[in-house]
Amino acid sequence: MRQTIMIIEDDPHIVSLLAYVFEDEGYSVLSSATAEEGWDLICTQQVDLVILDINLPGIDGLQLCNRIKEHMVLPVIMLSSRDKDDDVISGLELGADDYIKKPFNHREVLLRAGNLLKRAPERDETLLVTTGDLMIDLTKERVSRSGTVLELTPIEFSILRTLAESLDRIVSWQVICSEVWGSRDWEGGHELVKVNIRRLRKKIELDPSEPVYIMNAWGRGYRLLKLEYADSL
Please provide residue 217's backbone torsions phi and psi, each rounded to the nearest 5 degrees: -110, 95
Residue 230 has pLDDT above 60, yes or no: no
Contacts of 116 (CB under 8 A, 6+ apart): 49, 75, 77, 97, 98
Q: Tell me the C-alpha distance between 38 and 65, whole Å.
A: 11
Please name the CATH architecture into which domain 4-119 falls.
3-Layer(aba) Sandwich (3.40)
Band (141; pLDDT cuts 50, 70, 90)? confident
- Mean pLDDT, all residues of the chain: 87
Question: What is the reported pLDDT for 21?
Answer: 94
**What residue ranges do the domains of the chain occupy?**
4-119, 128-232
Give exposure, 118-133, as e/b (b: 16+ Cβ within 10 Å): eeeeeeeeeebbbbbb
Q: Check whether 233 has a pLDDT greater than 60.
A: no
- How far apart are the C-alpha atoms of 94 and 54, rounded to whole Å? 12
User: Mean of the pLDDT values across residues 80-90?
Assistant: 68
| More confident call, 93 vs 112 | 112
Q: What is the CA radius of gyration of the chain?
A: 21
Asked if pLDDT for residue 65 goes beyond 80, the answer is yes
Q: Which fold has domain 128-232?
A: Arc Repressor Mutant, subunit A (1.10.10)
pLDDT band at 229 (very low <50, low <70, confident <90, very high): low
- Looking at residue 2, its pLDDT comes to 85
- State residue 83's pLDDT score: 60
